[in-house]
Amino acid sequence: MIKIQCIMKIKNICCIGAGYVGGPTMAVIALKCPHIKVNVVDVNQERINAWNDENLDNLPVYEPGLADVVKEARGRNLFFSSDIENAINESEMVFIAVNTPTKTYGEGKGQAADLKYVELCARTIARVAKTDKIVVEKSTLPVRTAEAVQTILDSSGNGVHFEVLSNPEFLAEGTAIQDLFKSDRVLIGGQQTERGKEAISALVELYANWIPKEKIYTTNVWSSELSKLVANAFLAQRISSINSISALCEATEADVDEVATAIGMDSRIGNKFLKSSVGFGGSCFQKDILNLVYIAKTLGLDEVSEYWNQVIKINNYQKERFAKKIMTSLFGTVSGKKITLFGWAFKKNTNDSRESAAIYVADILIENGAQICVYDPKVSKQQMLSDLDNLNSRSSEQNNKSLSYFSEPLKACENSHAVAVITEWDEFKSYDWHKIFDCVMSPAKVFDGRNILDKEALKDIGFEVFSIGK
């Protein structure tokens, strides 16, 4: 752990990127640090307009508790704008929270993180900054990215000194606000120089406004960058591990929930992230593991690369296996059949659908001729179609014809050949499944991709129920 020392006072901070990380994180910082002005900026004017919308239901990010935080801090010391250059100049500390998607082109395609937006931020900061800045990596980045950012910043020729810190986020969408309020840990990586330690101290003191200092861990830059990737890889590994066992359970008379409970009672293992499902999604897990795979491969660590790639393979296998189970149970074909999906978000309590299992399950079913009907309380039809289009499996017109969105769950089920639960929204458990039974085709089939429904109660109604790992 780096020993920290003198404190640089921060009065203005800027965050470039108003998405799922930047928006909620800065909102909480503004709430907890009323003495600091927080400017959140983004090139997407539509997104900025949504953050400034008087109707808090229209915020571009849905997180329980976020609207209340924004309501209290916005206009006081929290501001959203597209004036990036002015926000940079005003600030002593600049957070970079832009998207780092997996590359879809060139060297590292399909595995490496695309850093073009991070590089653009660095070049913008270098060009416009007139005073010394602390630049904080908030985006999830590959190891040694800070080194590249530092090089770009140092080449500005403006006589401005930049100190680059790594401060990865550890947020779970759906619980992001609580995660920010009561963080397990805050990780800060920086240079072990005198000025580097001063920058680390400044960021430590910012978080110390509400986070106990014993939960703020400081390291070198490279350890911090790698820790984020490894944390997500380990969590995803647990999910893929229990999902691989779910297939074994289905082939035997074992129950995956009972197996998970039994092994989770072992204190060396613990019970977290042992919930079997249709597969993990979200913006981080797959992207970060692929990045780890790529880094290991480029360093000649082929065995390490292949080990972590298996986590992705099992996750893909789980989604394909679920879709094929639907097809097999519907007498070997879904052509011309209506399949209802409950949920499109990658998990409950978020409107984020990035890498959601629903996308891939729907894609497989559509490819086999199914008509997909979807209900999700937070994800729009526009987003669903965009998710499918991004797969490039077929034309946008075909996707639009094959997917229907419903604002009422019962309407989505009318004359459906099967209902599949993809997202674990709590409301699905409280539905009147008798009414659903009355409006679906016989034999009525439910595929519980999250194991959240009362299987025996559904059987008593008359449903054929297919669960994961049972």
Cα–Cα nearest to 203, from 149, 178, 229, 166: 166
| Contact of 125 with 304, CB cutoff 8 Å | no
- Tally the residues of the chain: 470
Please give the Cα distance from 46 to 50 (Å, whole number). 6
CA–CA–CA angle 26, 27, 32 (5° rounding): 95
Give 399-407 contacts, CB < 8 A, sequence gap 24+: 399/366, 402/366, 402/370, 402/371, 402/372, 403/362, 403/366, 403/372, 403/373, 403/374, 404/371, 404/372, 404/373, 404/374, 405/373, 405/374, 405/375, 405/380, 405/381, 406/373, 406/374, 406/375, 407/375
For 281-333, the DSSP string reads: -SSSHHHHHHHHHHHHHHTT-HHHHHHHHHHHHHHHHHHHHHHHHHHHHTTT-
For residue 291 the two structure tokens come to 């990045």
| Contact of 77 with 60, CB cutoff 8 Å | no
Tracing tokens 């996308």 back to the chain, one arrives at 359
Sequence-distant (6+) residues with CB within 8 A of 157 are: none
Question: Of the residues 284, 373, 413, 439, which is catalytic?
Answer: 284
Please give the Cα distance from 289 to 291 (Å, whole number). 5
Largest Cα–Cα distance in the chain?
75
Cα of 88 vs its chain's centroid, Å: 27
Cα–Cα nearest to 228, from 100, 161, 139: 139
14 carries an active-site annotation: no
Catalytic positions, written as ranges:
284
